[in-house]
Amino acid sequence: MGTTAASRAGMALGTLAAAGAACVAYGVVIERHWYRLRRETVPALEPGEPPCTILHLSDFHLLAADTRRLRFLAELAELPADLVVVTGDILGEPRALDAALQSMARFRPKLGAVAVLGSNDYYAPRPRNYLSYFSRKRTRRLPRGYNPWRELVDGLEGMGWLVLANRRARINDIDLAGLKDPHIRLDDLTVAVPPSDEQPASLRIGVVHSPYQRCLNAFERSGYQLVLAGHTHGGQVRVPGIGALVTNCDLPRDRVRGLSRWGSTWLNVSGGLGTSKYAPFRFDCRPEASLLTVVPV
């Protein structure tokens, strides 16, 4: 009896280990390269205003040899869009700068292109204990290595992109405000407050890498119709029937990916296109870009 019970326990453990290995292989080999385009309609404009299409991209985490991700970005650049907005974490390592700039040079939207930087654009990734994401008392320590973020900004601005580092901009009658990454405490919430003498806008868009509640609330209080963010990777690992296990910020887990309401504003959190090179794995959370069509209410 004892031998039989031990044998059954061993078989169960073996089956569990095999299933776990299969899930890891699937997440590494298949799903993290299984890109998709998510389309959403956002009823946020005043009646009579023409629709506006926004291609929202985030979290490339580009590596120099990321041929499949670069190929998908080239396909996205062929989509007709009025505005392209990138919500940070473009670089995955210092050597990826040239590939990133060449890829982003392909985008030529009708009205313009806008970006904010994420923490991984400033600091190169390093190996870490990913169980720390589940700790409520986890401290956010800055990585040691640097990414060439100044060269990234110079390159983007040289191509006509607007890099909104705690600053505002106007493209036609679209008002934009972009925050530096709140995940590393660089955000200036006063940027979200429009000047009293600002001309009326048909659409106000807030742009931020990490969707911390203090930033979302600042945009919502100032009457923005739409806020765009990334950072969460959609949870990166999701359990069917449960959803994302972590958000890597104070955003509720049910808002970690996709379009939702945040008070009176719309919030679109991109699941992102990549992962850290030290965690090249996704499960039930395909890498994605978002094509938003903003229409009258």
What's the pLDDT at 197?
A: 84
pLDDT score for 24: 87
Q: Is residue 17 part of a domain?
A: no
* Burial track 18-43 (b if 16+ CB lie within 10 A, e otherwise): eeeeeeeebbbeebbbebeebeeebe
- The rounded distance, in Å, linking the Cα atoms of 223 and 264 is 8
The answer to whether position 8 is within a domain reads no
pLDDT of residue 8: 76
The domain total for the chain is 1
Range of the domain at 183: 34-296
In the predicted model, residues of the chain with pLDDT beneath 70 are 1-3, 16, 128-144
Q: What's 112's domain CATH number?
A: 3.60.21
Looking at the domain assignment, is residue 128 inside a domain? Answer: yes
Residue 82 lies in a domain: yes
pLDDT of residue 131: 58
Residues 208/230, Cβ–Cβ less than 8 Å: no
Q: Is 174 domain-assigned?
A: yes
Domain membership of residue 133 (yes or no) is yes
Residue 283 lies in a domain: yes
DSSP string, the chain: -HHHHHHHHHHHHHHHHHHHHHHHHIIIIIGGG--EEEEEEEEEEPTTPPPEEEEEE----B-TT-HHHHHHHHHHHTS--SEEEEES--BSSGGGHHHHHHHHTT---SSEEEEE--HHHHB------GGGGG-TT---PPPSSB--HHHHHHHHHHTT-EE-SSEEEEETTEEEEE---GGGT---GGGGS--TTPPP-SEEEEE-SS--HHHHHHHHHTT-SEEEE-SSGGGSBEETTTEES--SSSS-GGGSSEEEEETTEEEEE---S---TT----BS---EEEEEEEEE-
59-97 pLDDT, tens digit each: 999 999 899 999 999 999 999 999 999 999 999 999 999
